[in-house]
Structure 1
Amino acid sequence: MGKQLVLLMSMASIVLSCTFRTKEDGVFAQLPQEIRKYIDSIHVTPLGAYHPEIKVEKMGDGMINVRLTYTITDTLRQNDWSIGIVPSFRPEFNWAPHLTPTDEHIIAQHVFRAPAVIMSNDTKLIAVLPDIDLIKNGSPVKWYMDMDAPGNMIALGASNYGVKEHVLFTKEEGAVYPPGKFEYGFKILVSDKAADIANPWRKILSYYWREYGKPLYDRGEPIATDLDAYVERTYKWAFGSWKEAVWQEFKINGRTVGAPVFIVNVTQSPNYGKMVNEREFRSIWNQAWFSSLRSASGLYRYAKKTGNDTLLQKAKLGKELALAFPQQNGFFNGLIATEMEKTEVDGEEYNKSKGWGSYYFGNSNRNPVTWDAKESPFHILDMSWTAYLMLKWYEDLEKDKRLLDYAVRYADALVGIQGKDGFFPAWLDRNTYEPLNILKKSPESSMSVTFLLELHKITGKSSYRDAALRAMDAVIEEVVPVGKWEDFETYWSCSRYGGDHLGRKFERNNMYKQNNFSIYWTAEALLNAYGLTHEKRYLDIGQRTMDELLMTQASWQPPFIYVKTLGGFGVMNADGEWNDSRQSLFAELIMRYGEVTSNLEYKERGMAALKASFIMMYCPENPITKEQWEKKFPFFGPEDYGFMMENYGHGGLTDSMGLGIGPFTIYDWGNGAAAEAYNRIMDHQELVPIKKN
């Protein structure tokens, strides 16, 4: 036993020697001197018995490229291989695209949209970027990254992986390296410049767009054709081939109202041929995601442009629906729904609506209180968004004074509940109107900033401006510097992991669970605050916030994503979506930043986001996506052209046979939202870097 122990200790010593003797004879020894002062060591774990050929190349402006090439002569089975980079300084700021809350978690290549791991303090910054050229060329084993903040370690590696929770990634066994060359590489970016430390994402984004995004964009990615065809597909689908399932028209207190339904699924296809099973309760929402008023405004623009009176009347019915939501002390609900019932046929249970005669008003059931929309609390975010859309309709489309009056009543109630700290609460008790304690100091306040600044612009009332800027400064002070991007979607949508960390960071990553929706609201509010006050600090912080948002935008085309990706957005650092529908909402704001900063990259990124908003549509104009739909749902045909899932790869896994394609369409968070964005942006031609496409 003693000899075995000595042998094991000896073997361990050999492994450690192979792993850590890098300052003398490994990657570290080849680093330029200006890079070495940022790095204490680089650890390369053994890959079998093979030794890599190491090449380090200067790229300029504080960036180098490191490439390791292994020549494998016989099939190698090794579960994990990694490189660890230890900075020479103790960072205070950490950023990575995905949470790795334990040692078993990794940042899988599935979420490599603009992949980087960043660490910095007041005087130094280091960022590590995987070499996506090598991933594009094909790798026998999947890549990953990791960040251990307490251990002061940035890691890259190769391993099989699986999905846990919704959606985090963990290593799995079974990686195999076939005979031939295995290449692995990464970039190291360092800086001691104050501007780079203040905005650690700008250089990374500029690099990714210059090297990968722009060449694709200039070739017409993700869509090279005119987007008008996609808008026409949307409206023909919603008000033509699928109208029986989509269009809802009914009366509220004698007033005719109407809008497309919240959600439909593949069982409602004219080509399905079996019984319909409604996915969720039949409803229409005016909420931060699913806004029927937003979609109606896009339909209004399209109908006016094309002279389509039928569609114009439907758009106006959407406006009437929003105005029909009763106000209570200025506040109002976020959705209207029907009662549902279960029916059983041949042993199968089906979900069915009781019809609009059973309607009730409620609020989003994505909240910390209840899944019951009837009992859900008032959501300030949803109300501020809807009231803002009323103002934009009033300003841009029709001078319907009812819209302005409705918004003013809400604004007066909103200002009345602002906290002494400047924040607006997230939720109000639906019976007492008292603020709930959850998310009382969150970036959801930024949406109310945008709404109140717009109302101030219309009315000239200073109390709206003052309340808005107080909230803006609160978000700047308490949210932006630490990345506390917590909102309703962060914890109360499908990705509910980490609820026990509400209001505190994950220690291993020194990061909050983050959602890019609240980054967007804040970037928008900051730009609007700058437009009103002309204070440059709002623009500087706004651009930093916009760049943080853009780190969740795809800058390249991964070979493991089986639809076009350029310009599409993910959601948060604990979920798996690509091409999420929020990109249609983000597109114009990105372009506006391009206009204000005279930065063409932003304008092109914004147009790429707009194009990506249509990529998931089932139609002949998207042949690659169409093929994926038909592999998943072979019964799809021309009557389904226009059907569009809200995102791709949501579950963290994809394949060429349709895995990653979902089963439903949310008109107000999918094709209808994309059409609205296009119609609105085309009315603002000064923002567009190129005509239409």
Structure 2
Amino acid sequence: MIQIKPILLSVLVLAGCQSNNQDPFLDIGRTEAPSLFKNLIENIEIESLGGINPKTGLDIIDSSTIRININFTVDELLNDDDWKVTIRPSFQPDFHWSPHLTPTDSHIVPQHVFRAPAMIMTEKVNNQRLAVFPELRSIAASGPKWYMDLNAENNEMILGWSKSKVQEHVLYVKEGGTVYKPDVYNFSFYIKASNTLDQTKNPWRDILAFYWDSFGEKLYKKREPLGTIDLEKYVDHTYQWAFQDWKGVVWQEFELKGKKVGAPTFIVNVSQSPNYEKPPFEREFKSIWNQAWFSSLRSASGLFRYAKRKRDTLLMEKAIMTKELALLFPQENGFFPGIIATKMKDTTVEGSTFRKSKGWDTHYFGNSNRNPFMNPTQIEGIHWGNPDDSPYHILDMSWTANQMLLWYMDLEKDPRLLDYAITYAEQLLELQDKKGYFPGWISVRTHEPMGILDQSPETAMSATFLFNAYKTTKNTKYRDAALKAIDILIKEVVPVGRWEDFETYWSCSSYGNIDLVNKKIGRNNMFKQNNLSTFWTSEALYEAFQITGQQKYLDHGQVVLDELLMTQATWQPPYMYVKTFGGFGVMNADAEWNDARQSLFAELIIKYGKELGSKEYVQRGLAALRASFVMMYCPENPQTKTQWESKHPHFGKEDYGFTMENYGHNGTTSKDGLGIGDFTIYDWGNGAASEAYGRIRDHYGTDFMIDKNP
């Protein structure tokens, strides 16, 4: 084993080889390292590879960044299941960050989730920070698989080579079987060191800038991930698919309380394609959602913009029908459900049983079944609850009421939207606790908080809604309640990264939902985290700054935004078989790339860019918007199209527009279609992306969208 001692970093000292009768002090480099690294690094240990000692070198990038290069020459076939480098700080950190959880010594952060990979340790009293991250150029598609591992308990940051396999959904554990053929193997990584307050308060900013300068801006200037294609073509595909080619499956139209209403259904799958020759089936209950993920009202606002732009009266009628449906969700003392659904029945066709809708005559109202109070029903191995016995979710109601205010402010002054939202706002104020939080879920019957996530960053969505309620009514009680909410998030959530929300534990990634809520994973000193929480919080902080003009809100907002941006892909990995640049992941215990939330995030990133005068943020926001269309099946996406057809060969022209919500969801990919899913959620896929495009185009203009001078 090689040990690099910082006091002798200028000569890169070898140690620990006595058992092999080797000199423990071998001169392997003579580059003088900045003194900052000697002060902050206790040691660096480099293992031999199957008994082969490496050649190492040190490059100084700048006064706060070094690169360590490790090379092995393998002359004959060898096996080494787990080779690694271990970096130990000389200080005791009080904050840790890694892109993925490694709760045991067997778990690792595999290269599959390397979007902007880094491990960070900071100590706030003396403003000490170390960040370690791979040189992405040294990762090859066919070479040994990289990994990282942050062990807070042992004060170690580890990088290495090892195969991995998925365990839980989605964590990774080491797997044996790595074989090294005769060749030269290169392994390089960076270390950033700092002892300034700025880098401790925002430990992500310089890492993000480094990745953007190294990879992101170059890819952006090449017009990645979509090239020079006009995004309007993707929007055209979306609406052609939803309202023409797949109309009979996607568009739902019925009468409710004497009014004709309609919206695209919650979810469809590949078996419902007009090109599918076997009997189709429905993956989940037929429904229409107005929820923080799946928002038919948000998608309808995009359709409204498109119909107005194209002067399409039929599509405008559909957008208005969806608005009317949202207004008919019944309010009880201001609170209202998030779902309208139909009863389902089992139907047997050719010996197979399928679930089918009984039709909208059997409709009922309910709430999102992604919650901790579920009476589970298994769907394709996932246990979801029943919407008709799910509680009210404050987040979902605040989200939908906010969408009503945005429609009112941006699209048309329909007073019913304002009345509905303000009726809810009055009841929401009654739920704010003494600290400033709004609860997670409340009982449909008693309207009392239900005790889980009663003090969480979901509160930020209610704050943003109340800021907009203040904008539309000028009633200061809404502003004051929102600021109280934001102030407690700054105090209690932001500093420790407690990014817990409904998706963190009660989506497909259920790891920790029994024993980790409001608790850190000890080995990582981190909470299980989801980036919807960082988005809502950075959005609310931006609104707080706009309303108050207080710089502290913008400063905190940028910190939270940068933590969010650590989940954005700033490069194109050679082992991903669709374009990934600009797309987002989800959480530190899941594996997707190009997740549909990137269309939700795009404009906020642009807003911060405009406010801060940052070209990087503006480019990141536009890259996120473009990435929102990457997973669409259409000729404009030849790589993606090939992947779709590898997985679903029945796809054809009538399926152009079909858009899976993400890529690599189960933690693996291949050139043969592994990583491609089998469903589309219009309100969390093509419809959502098209809404974001229309909104950003309307707010900033067509020239901004194409960025003529990238």
Q: TM-score range by the shorter chain?
A: over 0.9
Structure 1 match to 2:399: 385
Structure 1 match to 2:525: 510
State the AA in 1 paired with 2:415: K
> What pairs with 1:363-512 in structure 2 (closer than 5 Å)?
363-370=367-374, 371-499=385-513, 500-512=515-527
Give the counterpart of 2:143 among 140, 144, 150.
140
Aligned-partner SS, 1:125: strand
How many angstroms does 1:176 deviate by? 0.7
Q: Does 1:42 align with 2:44?
A: yes
Q: Is 2:67–2:190's contact at 8 Å kept on the other side of the alignment?
A: yes
Q: Distance in 2 between matches of 1:91 and 1:195?
A: 16
> What pairs with 1:55-204 in structure 2 (closer than 5 Å)?
55-122=57-124, 123-135=127-139, 137-138=140-141, 140-204=143-207
Q: Is 2:292–2:399's contact at 8 Å kept on the other side of the alignment?
A: yes
**Which has the higher mean CA deviation after the structures are superposed, 27-36 or 559-568?**
27-36
Q: Deviations over 1:517-548 (max 9, x none)?
A: 01000000000000000111100000000000
Q: Distance in 2 between matches of 1:141 and 1:671?
A: 36
Q: Distance in 1 between matches of 2:627 and 2:430?
A: 40
Q: Deviations over 1:80-106 (max 9, x none)?
A: 100000001110010000000000000
Structure 1 match to 2:693: 678
CA separation of 1:344/1:48 partners in 2, compared to 1, >3 Å: closer, same or farther? same
CA separation of 1:198/1:66 partners in 2, compared to 1, >3 Å: closer, same or farther? same
How many angstroms does 1:48 deviate by? 1.5
How many angstroms does 1:691 deviate by? 2.8
How many angstroms does 1:639 deviate by? 0.4
Q: Distance in 1 between matches of 2:138 and 2:275?
A: 43
Q: Does 1:641 align with 2:656?
A: yes
Give the counterpart of 1:338 among 314, 339, 342.
342
Q: Is 2:34–2:63's contact at 8 Å kept on the other side of the alignment?
A: no
Q: Is 1:28–1:36's contact at 8 Å kept on the other side of the alignment?
A: no
State the AA in 2 paired with 1:622: N
Q: Distance in 2 between matches of 1:649 and 1:363?
A: 28
**Which has the higher mean CA deviation after the structures are superposed, 297-306 or 25-34?**
25-34
Q: Does 1:255 align with 2:259?
A: yes
Q: Is 2:18–2:24's contact at 8 Å kept on the other side of the alignment?
A: no
**Which has the higher mean CA deviation after the structures are superposed, 117-126 or 517-526?**
117-126
Q: Does 1:617 align with 2:619?
A: no
State the AA in 1 paired with 2:201: A
Q: Does 1:348 align with 2:362?
A: no
How many angstroms does 1:25 deviate by? 5.1
Structure 2 match to 1:325: 329
Q: Distance in 2 between matches of 1:22 and 1:618?
A: 58
Q: Distance in 1 between matches of 2:147 and 2:20?
A: 22
Q: Is 1:19–1:43's contact at 8 Å kept on the other side of the alignment?
A: no
Q: Is 1:227–1:692's contact at 8 Å kept on the other side of the alignment?
A: no
Q: Deviations over 1:621-654 (max 9, x none)?
A: 0000000000000010000000000000001101
Q: Does 1:576 align with 2:591?
A: yes
Q: Deviations over 1:436-473 (max 9, x none)?
A: 11001000000000000011011010110111111111
Give the counterpart of 2:55 among 53, 56, 77.
53
Q: Distance in 2 between matches of 1:237 and 1:584?
A: 19
Aligned-partner SS, 1:570: coil
Structure 2 match to 1:632: 647
Q: Is 1:632–1:659's contact at 8 Å kept on the other side of the alignment?
A: yes
Q: Distance in 1 between matches of 2:410 and 2:500?
A: 32
> What pairs with 1:208-223 in structure 2 (closer than 5 Å)?
208-223=211-226
How many angstroms does 1:688 deviate by? 7.5
State the AA in 1 paired with 2:223: G
Aligned-partner SS, 1:421: coil
How many angstroms does 1:18 deviate by? 7.4
How many angstroms does 1:331 deviate by? 0.2
Q: Deviations over 1:23-74 (max 9, x none)?
A: 8656899744331211111111110222211111000140011111111111
Consecutive unaligned residues of structure 2, counting only runs of 5 or more, are 1-14, 375-384
CA separation of 1:23/1:86 partners in 2, compared to 1, >3 Å: closer, same or farther? farther
Q: Distance in 1 between matches of 2:285 and 2:659?
A: 20
Q: Is 1:485–1:516's contact at 8 Å kept on the other side of the alignment?
A: yes
TM-score, length basis structure 1: 0.96
Structure 2 match to 1:659: 674
How many angstroms does 1:140 deviate by? 2.0
State the AA in 2 paired with 1:247: W
How many angstroms does 1:251 deviate by? 1.0
Aligned-partner SS, 2:43: strand
State the AA in 2 paired with 1:153: E
Aligned-partner SS, 2:161: strand
- Please give the root-mean-square deviation of Cα atoms over the aligned residues, in Å: 1.7
Structure 2 match to 1:6: none
How many angstroms does 1:16 deviate by? 7.9
Q: Distance in 2 between matches of 1:60 and 1:22?
A: 30
Structure 2 match to 1:7: none
Aligned-partner SS, 1:331: coil
Q: Distance in 1 between matches of 2:365 and 2:112?
A: 39
Q: Is 2:141–2:575's contact at 8 Å kept on the other side of the alignment?
A: no
